[in-house]
Structure 1
Amino acid sequence: MFKRKNVENHSEMRKIQYSGKSSFTLALPKKWVINQKLKAGDQLSVTTDGTNNLILSSEKKKTYVKKQTNILLDETSEKGHIERKIIATYISGYNQIHIRSKHKRMTPQQRSIIKKLVRDKLVGTEIIEDSNLIISIQVILDPSELNIENTLRRMSVITQGMHGDIIYAIKKHDIEMCKEIIRTDDDVDRFGLYVIRQLRFSLENDNSLELANSVDKIYCLGYRMIAKSLERIADHASLMGQQLMSLNKPLPKSILVQLDEFSEFSRGNLEKSMRALVNKDYKLADKVVTTCLEAPKKELKILNSDFKMTKDQDACVVSILEHIRRVSDYSADIGEVVLNLTIDENLKKQ
């Protein structure tokens, strides 16, 4: 009925058969049918993955394997080593992470580091066991429950809020608000790690397209680049907060208006680039990239203005302007990613 050719990666070449007046049929491998516990009359889902490939899956297979692992610590394991190892296992898709010491007991400092990391950096996790002998981390958030685009949008909203708040803090010389902005940067980092975890899940699971809110593999690289850009934009708000905290005197009012206008320009570019992403809008993304090219000119115009400031104030303004301009730079990067993701549809509409 069909011609088969085995290859090293266990794929098979099968001949399409013509059936009836208008149907094409393809025989399924018997071993696959048996492994899936399928029988005649069962239904299969047929999905196109965006690269002209068809993915067959049964309703019984709309699950994913939950992985668990163990991490062994030395008494000398320091903060950076512990955090990097736990984050790496989280990103790699492990659902249970059991942390033990090679010398039976963990130090109080190590336990504190682990619990703070779970609380501050890992979205959707809980500590389900906590003792001197072991700390077990459980990822309780199912990968199908939080859409990646919504996560990116949430990162964008938080980031735009940080930049709006830092301008207010500069106007009022509000040190407490600066501290809050610096703390908020952790929230963006948390969502960034979650995006990486979700993207890896989509790439590793053959049936991920059959799960609700999963990501088409063709978008994975673009989403990773966007998440990184949003993290960088948040970092610039945090850096402005740190810089303002070291400034003894408030900036003169004459410069504040221009800083506010420049920040509003860059924040607008970020908002539009994310709107282009959500709506898959090629034209808007192209417009954002063009508009962002004006940012260096606006920065230079303010730098060339004549303001009476101390050396510390002048250095602070130069740094703040660079941070604000970088928001537009990263917004242009996001816009370019959207252009790359939507070019096929745009060409079809020409």
Structure 2
Amino acid sequence: MDTRKVQITGKSTYVVTLPKKWATRSKLEAGSHISIYYQEDGSLLLKPPGVKSSNKTKKIKFNKELEHIKRDLVGLYIISDHQTIEISGNDIPAAARREIKDLCHRLVGLEMVEGDEKKIVIKNFLDTEDFTIEKGLKRMSSLVYLMLDELASAFEENDKELCNHIISRDDDLDRMFLLVSKQHVERLNLKKPSKHDKQTLVESFYYRLAANDIERIGDHISKISLHFSYISLPQEVLAILVDLCRECQSLFMDSTEALRQSDSDIANNVMGREDIFNKMLISAAQLPTEESIELIIDSFSRIKDYASNIAESAIDLSQL
């Protein structure tokens, strides 16, 4: 780390010299313009002329399992700012190209623009200028609310077809979760945030934690829906499951509201209702049924735990 002494010229101009090695490496000369970014911790980020957003290409060899390549693509989407990804190989199967194209559809902004046996080219057209982590979390919360609402309706009407619709919403939830994750990483890299993004890095961190909890809640709703689509339950059991679903919905919405408002009172109320919910779970688990509902009870319990995690994050934020 270099240190510099602040000098004052005239009555109100503060002057700090730049490190010579940095100035030389950055090819600065008299009259060069340096971009100055104000960071929320009070520090400054200096960028010399010519430093632009990365437009480099990431090259990947198609020499390992397809699932490994797909995981690499998701990682690149979240962590890197590459505008182009090229996958090359001697013989890329048509089935693999289709799977990679489907994956791109699940990643907001990615598009496979070229694909043959020798090479796949993926472009990143994502513009996050008008997107904020707060907007992403709100969208995720709305999706989970709808999924729980539809799950309660599926129980009430014993509608197995509705389960497929609920499961399909989980793909939209995953897309939004990855986009929130990508936006959070950009904040950590000290990139200029969206002009609409008013969150601090601390708030961004807790919202990213909450997004992970919301994504997991969506997974458990899908798991319940899938299991329910294969079993038959008596009406009295379905009525109990409706009550559990509605209570989960209430706990979840209160926890996310507590997070948005950084309200510890709402958050503590959510956590104070855990004992009542646990008693509901125990009662439901003891119901006599020909079909096992253990998986459903366990998933409802996990949803409650994730809602409590979000409430705990809200309590932490309320201390700022």
Give the TM-score of the pair, scaled to structure 1.
0.78
Aligned residues: 317
- Structure 2 CA distance, aligned partners of 1:33 and 1:280? 44
Q: 1:81 aligns with which of 68, 92, 96?
A: 68
Change (3 A) 1:284 1:18: farther
**Equivalent of 1:225 in 209, 215, 237:** 209
The answer to whether structure 1 residue 97 and structure 2 residue 85 are counterparts is: yes
Taking the aligned partners of 1:260 and 1:287, their CA distance within structure 2 comes to: 22
Asked if 1:264 is matched to 2:253, the reply is: no
Q: Which residue of 2 aligns with 1:109?
A: 95
CA contact (8 A) 2:184 2:204 kept: yes
Distance (Å, rounded) in 2 between the aligned partners of 1:216 and 1:55: 15
Corresponding residue of 1:4: none
Instruction: Determine if contact 1:33/1:39 at 8 Å carries over to the other structure.
Output: no
Query: Residue 338 of structure 1: which of 314, 317, 320 is its match?
Result: 314
Deviations 1:15-61 (A, max 9, x none): 3456788x683515276789597988989766342xx4322457989
Match of 2:173 in 1: 188
Cα distance, 1:282–1:36 mapped onto 2, change above 3 Å: farther
1:65 aligns with 2:54: yes
More deviation, 89-98/150-159: 89-98
CA deviation after TM superposition for structure 1 residue 210, in Å: 7.3
For 2:174 and 2:228, the matched residues in 1 are separated by: 22
Q: Give the % identical residues.
A: 26
- Structure 1 residues 287, 132: CA separation in 2 closer, same or farther (over 3 Å shift)? same
Equivalent residue number for residue 27 of structure 1: 16
Paired residue type of 1:241: S
Which residue matches 2:157? Answer: 172
Distance 1:111 1:44, change over 3 A: closer
CA-to-partner distance for each residue in 1:79-129, whole Å, 9 max, x for gaps?
31231122122122232111111x1x311111111111112x211111222
Please say which of residues 206-215 and 132-141 is displaced more in the overlay.
206-215
Corresponding residue number in structure 1 for 2:38:
47
2:168 alignment partner AA: R
Mark the CA change 1:211 to 1:30 in structure 2 (over 3 Å): closer, same or farther: farther
- Range 139-148 or range 329-338, more displaced: 139-148
State the shift of 1:12 in Å.
2.1
Q: Distance in 2 between matches of 1:38 and 1:272?
A: 57
Indicate if the aligned counterparts of 1:91 and 1:193 stay in contact, CA closer than 8 A: yes
Q: CA deviation at 1:235?
A: 0.8
Cα-to-partner distance string for 1:319-342 (whole Å, 9 max, x where unaligned): 323322322210110111122233
Within 2, Cα distance between the matches of 1:222 and 1:215?
A: 11
2:131 counterpart SS class: coil
Q: Secondary structure at the match of 1:12?
A: coil
Shift of 1:257: 2.8
